[in-house]
Amino acid sequence: MKLITAIIKPFKLDDVRDALSELGIAGMTVSEVKGFGRQKGHTELYRGAEYVVDFLPKIKLEIALAADQAEAAIAAIQSAACNQKVGDGKIFVQPLEQVVRIRTGELDQDAL
């Protein structure tokens, strides 16, 4: 099993969700986060005062899936989230040791 964590631009969430749904991946956790990298920040004007926005809004997706689905999911996320611009995001893949469904006690693949 694998845990995929992807950081993407907020307006790409629906595209990524649709791409993963086409693969039969139905579950994910979505969090609104802020961050910065090569994209850096930008300046904004508020009530006549300029200020710097260092941390930009992003979406963090967490997807637990079978190891044999990981490569297809990574390709789908990359394709759907890509804008060919700085700040498109990152995908992190980690091994997942155990999954337990709280309601039924099912383990690992059965719990996904």
Helix orientation angle between 13-22 and 70-81, rounded to the nearest 10 degrees: 150
How many folded domains does the chain comprise? 1
Question: What mean pLDDT do residues 27-56 have?
Answer: 79
CA 13 – CA 76 distance, rounded (Å): 12
pLDDT for the residue 18? 96
**pLDDT at residue number 56:** 85
Q: What is the CATH number of the domain that holds 9?
A: 3.30.70.120
Based on its alpha-carbon atoms, the radius of gyration of the chain, rounded to whole angstroms, reads 17
Work out the average pLDDT over 76-96: 93
- Give the pLDDT confidence score for residue 52 in this predicted structure: 72
Residue-range definition of the domain harbouring residue 25: 2-111
